Amino acid sequence: MSLARVAAAAGRSAALPLVLSVSAIDLDGTEATDGTDGAGTDRIGFHDEVVLPVASTAKLLLLAEIARRLDAGELRGDRTVDVLPEDRAGGTGLLGRLGRTGWTVEDLCWLTASVSDNTATNALLRLVGRDATARLAERLTLRDLTLHDSVRDVRGPGVPPVFATGTARDLARLVAHAARGTMVSAGASARLLQWMRANTDHGLVPALVAHDPYAPGFPAPAPGALLIANKTGTDTGVRADVGLLIGTRRLAYAVVAHWDTALGASTERAAVHALRDVGRTLADCAMLPGPG
C-alpha cells in the first residue's frame, strides 16, 4: 500500500500560514515509500523531521516510562501518590478541581491518558523525573522527543517556554513501537495502547472518521470497523494528534500543526481543518485491503 495519499492531503496545507508535520507508518506494509521505518513497513513523512512544540502528545513518553516500570516490577500500580499543591495545574483534567489528594499510579495514568489531566501528569512526572523520560527516548532512538518541564498555567522568565518539543516522526515511531510490542517489552507496549484507547478527545484526526470510540474488541476490530487509540495536544499555536488506526491495516500516525497566534482565530480553524483532512485520508488508508 502506498501512503502517498496521506502526503498529498498534508500538502494541501502548503498555502496556509502554518507548519503541518505528518508521519504515518503502515505496520502491515511491505513496500517502502518515503523510506522504511523498520523491517517490512511503509512510512510516509511530510515535514516530519521538523522539531515543533507538541503539547500534551508528549505525555505519551511519560506514560511509556510508567508502563515500562510497571511491567518490570519497578513500580506498583496500586502505589498511592499524594498530589501536592505544586502539582496542581489548570487546563485539561479533573484532579485540579477535586478535593482528594491521594491517587494510585494507575489512577493517575488513566486520568493522564483519558482526559489529558495536567495535575495527574505533574504528579507522575515528579514521581519518575524528566531524566527517566529522556533515557527512554534515547533507548527507543526518539532523538528529538523531549519533556522540558512540568505543565504550568503561566510560563514566565526562568522556565522553559514550552512543556515539550518533538517531531511527528518520533511520535509516530513511539506508537509504532507500542503496536509492535517493542516498546521495551510486550507488556509495557500493550499497557500504553490500552491507556491511549481511553482517550476522550476525538476532535482532531478522528473527527471526520466513522468510528465508535467505545467499540469493544481493541485491538481486533470487527469486520469493516475501525478502532482508534490516540493522544491529542492543545496549546497556544499548537494542535497535535498522535495515535494508532486499526482497520484492515494498522497505521501509526502523528500530525502536528504549529502557527503564529498573532494571525488570529482563522489560522487556528485552518489548522484544525488540516488535521481532520489528513485524518480522513489516514482512515481511508487503514481500511484498504490488508496484506495477503
76-103 pLDDT per residue, tens: 999 999 999 999 999 999 998 898 999 9
What is the model's pLDDT at position 41?
53
Cell of 66: 510508567
234-289 pLDDT per residue, tens: 999 999 999 999 999 999 999 999 999 999 999 999 999 999 999 999 999 999 88
- If residue 179 lies in a helix (H) or strand (E), which one and from where to where? helix 168-180
The β-bridge relationship of strands 164-166 and 42-46 is unpaired
5-33 pLDDT per residue, tens: 999 999 999 899 999 999 999 998 744 33
Bond prior to 219 in cis (omega within 30° of 0): yes
Cell of 37: 521505518
Distance CA 176, CA 113 (A): 17
Q: Which amino acid is at 226?
A: L
C-beta of residue 65 within 8 angstroms of C-beta of residue 185: no
Q: Does the structure show a pLDDT above 90 at 37?
A: no
Cα diameter, the chain: 57
What is the model's pLDDT at position 2?
66
Q: Does the structure show a pLDDT above 80 at 119?
A: yes
Global pTM reads 0.94
Classified as helix, coil or strand, 266 is helix
Could you say which DSSP state residue 87 is in? G
